[in-house]
Amino acid sequence: MSSIKEESLVNNPHHNYVPLDSNLLRDLDTTGGIHSSILSSIEDLIKQIVKDTQKYITSFTNGDISKLDESYILTQAENLKNAIVTQFELQNYDRSIKISKTKIKDNMRRDAQLDEEQLEELADDNISDMIEKDYYSFNSTQQGLLSTVIKSNADYQLLKNVVFIVNNPEDPIPDEEDDEELNVAGGKVSLKDPISLQYFQDPVCSKRCKHTFEKSSIQSHFSKGGSNCPIDGCSQTITRADLYPDQLMRIRVSIYKKLEEKEREEDDDLERVI
């Protein structure tokens, strides 16, 4: 009876489904991706690291900047980076499993003209091994994207660079010195709005050209019909939707003003002594 069924499978040109061994099918169906709770816990960890560190940054920028614990900031930056990498790799694993399962099922439905030896080889395959191989192949193609994900993460960039900014509020961040889009004059970062020429209070940055403006100034520019970046020589078209809070600039200005105030107090103390 079984030989008749096998012969009908081979000779029927309209039959395009090859049944796999029942254990193999069960293995495939029970192979799952990353549980949503795991991805959620990583996302919660990232949010908690950012929340705790930003709270600390706010406290010292509004208080005594000399009490900055640089090791805490740098450790939190490294913790955040590790969490981002973990999240990226787990998401890749989840995607690769879905791709693998789709590919395997598609292969099951391809040309039914398989001989007995090919069917035995397919039945002996291990689904987990096949998925693992696909994951490493898929993940290797995504590693170039990982550096982009890290570099484009505003929270990580804030934590990574805030220690340098606290010590050098007017200096370009080292790995940005060659960025032509930065508003840098004479080797220093301008802490003033290019429109009002006043120190930033609520700075926002354009994701199109990376120029920073005082929020009220650029909003006024839009209200008057402006659609291009108001910086001379910049031809980028920007909209309100392109703007995001420039936390690094806010910290730069806050630290700079505190350092200025400290210098004035020291000068006053010196004059009184003299």
pLDDT digits (tens, 9 = 90+) for 11-39: 443 333 444 555 555 665 666 667 788 88
Over pLDDT 70: what percentage of the chain? 70
**Unique residue bearing structure tokens 């549980």:** 35
Confidence of residue 73 (pLDDT cuts 50, 70, 90): very high
In this prediction, residues 239-267 reach a mean pLDDT of 88
In this prediction, residues 213-232 reach a mean pLDDT of 94
> What pLDDT is attached to residue 200?
97
The domains located in the chain, with CATH, are 2-156 (no CATH), 169-273 (3.30.40.10)
In this prediction, residues 166-192 reach a mean pLDDT of 74
- What is this structure's pTM? 0.67
The angle that helices 154-167 and 247-273 make with each other, rounded to 10 degrees, is: 10
> What pLDDT is attached to residue 134?
75
Is pLDDT above 50 for 3? no
Torsion sign across C-alpha atoms 46, 51, 52, 58 = positive
Is pLDDT above 60 for 112? no
Confidence of residue 100 (pLDDT cuts 50, 70, 90): confident
- Reading the block at residue 94, the tokens are 């989840």
In a 3-state reduction of DSSP, which class is residue 157? helix
Cβ atoms of 247 and 154 within 8 Å: the answer is yes
- In angstroms, the CA 158 to CA 179 distance is 17
Q: Which residue has the higher pLDDT, 90 or 20?
A: 90
CA of residue 249 relative to chain centroid, distance:
20
Residue 157: half-sphere exposure toward Cβ, Cα within 13 Å: 16
Q: What is the mean pLDDT of the chain?
A: 79
Q: Where is mean pLDDT largest: 16-20, 57-61, 74-78, 123-127?
A: 74-78
Given the DSSP bridges, would you call strands 184-185 and 203-206 parallel, antiparallel or unpaired?
A: unpaired
Over pLDDT 90: what percentage of the chain? 41
Amino acid at 66: S
> What pLDDT is attached to residue 58?
85
- In angstroms, the CA 143 to CA 155 distance is 20
Is pLDDT above 80 for 71? yes
- In angstroms, the CA 154 to CA 163 distance is 15
Is pLDDT above 90 for 214? yes
Could you write out the DSSP letters of every residue in 197-215? -SB-SSEEEETTT--EEEH
> What pLDDT is attached to residue 16?
37
In this prediction, residues 69-73 reach a mean pLDDT of 91
Q: Which residue has the higher pLDDT, 100 or 109?
A: 100
